[in-house]
Amino acid sequence: MKTTDLLSIIRLTDREEWGFGTRELRRMMALEPKGCLVAKMNGRLIGLTVAITYGKSCGWIGNVVVDRKHRGAGIGSSLVQSAIRHLLRGHVKTIALYSYPENEAMYKRLGFNTTDSFARLSMSEDIESSRQRTGRVPLNQILSLDRRAFGADRSRLLRRVYREFPKSWAWVINDDRVYGYSLVKRYKDSSEIGPMICEPANHEPVATLLRSSISLVRKWPLEMSVPESNLTVLEAATSIGFRVEKKGVVMSYTRLDPAIVKPSIGAFGFLDKG
């Protein structure tokens, strides 16, 4: 991927209603330039994917999209195979991705197995929400909490997003210890909660995080992807107005260790359109 590809990528992702802007694409290129891959035919961009490494622990593939006119020709498979090769060169222990049901068979052919599932939730209008506390974001504690919960170091990504969205963080704290946080990301025509971590995932702090996050939203609708194993978050979200839009799965590359979704993960985030 090159900066000269950005407008073509946005036209492609707009047709899929992803709401990407140049900010998201430049973020990906800054974090993992060799993992940002595009497919072209006769000089025209017809597909892309992004592969990112979180230290040596984990590699993640996302944003797999192919122009509708060129689907069924193996372009998506070729992009994913190129992403796998990039991540294997980084000697990661796990490679994972999110998939919706219509793409699951393709990923299985490429060596992935389903290891978890999630529900994509949406809320289209505001509710009475808790106001988020003001003050400096306890970023170092958030990074430490995220590392424990996710099982890999996402600090490069989180620090980058903190610079982009310094006022879009919610957190819960007890005795000066952060035990939960959430981030609201803004796209061109929507917002997304994710990541969201709460340790332990009890109803009261989860509900507080959700309501505080909602108070930060400036673009509607609001979406989030919740592990189906996290019943606390699913119940809290539906009770305040979220509804299930669709379901998907977490898939892991079978030649490496499987991705583990820990109970403290309340919502996924980043590179999750695939």
pLDDT digits (tens, 9 = 90+) for 189-201: 899 999 999 999 9
Examine domains 3-117 and 121-247+255-267 and report if their fold is the same.
yes
pLDDT, one tens digit per residue, over 18-45 is: 888 899 999 999 999 999 999 999 999 9
Token digits of residue 56:
């040596």
Q: Please determine, for residue 128, whether its predicted confidence score (pLDDT) is greater than 70.
A: no
* 112 strand-pairing partners: 253
Residue 13: φ, ψ to 5°: -70, -25
pLDDT, one tens digit per residue, over 198-220 is: 999 999 999 999 999 999 998 99
How far are the Cα atoms of 80, 146, 182 from residue 39, in angstroms, in the given order?
A: 11, 33, 34
Tell me what pLDDT residue 189 has. 87
Beta-strand pair 58-66/222-227:
unpaired
- The CA distance from 80 to 78, in Å, is 5
Domain ranges of the chain: 3-117, 121-247+255-267
Q: What residues have CB less than 8 Å from 154, skipping those under 6 apart?
A: 54, 146, 147, 195
Q: Please determine, for residue 133, whether its predicted confidence score (pLDDT) is greater than 90.
A: no
Fold classified for 121-247+255-267: Aminopeptidase (3.40.630)
Tell me what pLDDT residue 130 has. 57
For residues 253 and 81, is the Cβ–Cβ distance under 8 A? no
pLDDT, one tens digit per residue, over 58-89 is: 999 999 999 999 999 999 999 999 999 999 99
- The CA distance from 214 to 210, in Å, is 6
What is the CATH architecture assignment of 3-117?
A: 3-Layer(aba) Sandwich (3.40)
Mean pLDDT rounded to a whole number for the chain: 93
